Amino acid sequence: MIGVFDSGLGGLTVVKELMKRLPGRGVVYFGDNARYPYGGKSGALITQYAIENTEFLRAQGAKVLVVACNTASAHAVAALRERFPDMPVYEVVGPALARAAAISEGRVGVIATTGTVESGVYERGMSSLRPEATVFSQACPLFVPLVEEGWVGKPETESIASTYLLPLHSQDIETLILGCTHYPFLRRTIAKIMGPHVRLIDPAIELVNELQRRLVADHAFDAMLTKHAGYRFHASDRTARFERIATEWLGTDVRLAEPSH
């Protein structure tokens, strides 16, 4: 089983990509909506939550971990690898950076939550991948609530997005990493503001590309993820809203499983 966690619903974008691209590989999902959102909280706290979530997923049979939340990827991945050395840990920051480094000449934009931006993880990652590249990052803290509350496509959202994206627009970037699982829902608005010359990178797609390459290349890894087609969903706050939105996004009937954490 592939264990996936996120602070809430956002990580389901990764699950959707896994369902489409790696059908037959089981997934157990944990949405930590009781403590959602992670974006503005401290690194120490997010690391503690990430460890608890991983312990839960391991107890549910997960052999490979996917951290589907950029804020947790930014803060907690080193601690998770140290704590669970037997478990391959995939996250959303590295694959998106690798893609940006591959397709750009050196001016890379990142939009993310306040927590992710303050961590400096994209700047550090890029400086080891391509030291001559420059990363321009911008926190967009209202994007998550705007998506969660269904304001995608509304003029207020477009206006708020313009305010957030203005500094990046003037930096002449070539690529823009959508550094939060919620942001692909605003892709059309963001693309319109940034213009056709800026290529948008969706970390969920890059992450699944990386997993897929490893499955082909590494037989032991492939064996770890025995073909087992189940999908199981857990949430720390078992709400009807979670089930309704997950069912809508994934196009399949989602019922939350016990236990909750």
Active site residues: 69, 180
Quick check: 193 binds its own copies (CB under 8 A)? no
Yes or no: say if 13 and 204 are a contact pair by the CB < 8 Å rule.
yes
Please give the size of the binding site for its own copies, defined by CB under 8 A: 23
Yes or no: say if 253 and 233 are a contact pair by the CB < 8 Å rule.
no
Length of the chain equals: 261
Shortest distance, position 9 Cβ to its own copies, whole Å: 11
**DSSP secondary structure string, 173-230?**
-SEEEEESTTGGGGHHHHHHHH-TTSEEE-HHHHHHHHHHHHHHH-HHHHHHT-B---
Residues 19-78 that bind its own copies (CB under 8 A): 33-35, 40-42, 45
Quick check: 153 binds its own copies (CB under 8 A)? no
Q: In what order do the strands lie in the sheet with 134-139?
A: 134-139, 107-112, 175-179, 199-201
What would the x/- binding string for its own copies be over residues 214 to 253, using CB under 8 A? -----------------------xxx-x------------
Quick check: 174 binds its own copies (CB under 8 A)? no
Shortest distance, position 110 Cβ to its own copies, whole Å: 19
Shortest distance, position 181 Cβ to its own copies, whole Å: 17
Six-digit token pair at 160? 């708020």
Closest CA to 68 of 117, 138, 10: 10
Residues that bind its own copies (CB under 8 A): 33-35, 40-42, 45, 141-142, 145-146, 148-149, 151, 155-156, 159-160, 163, 237-239, 241
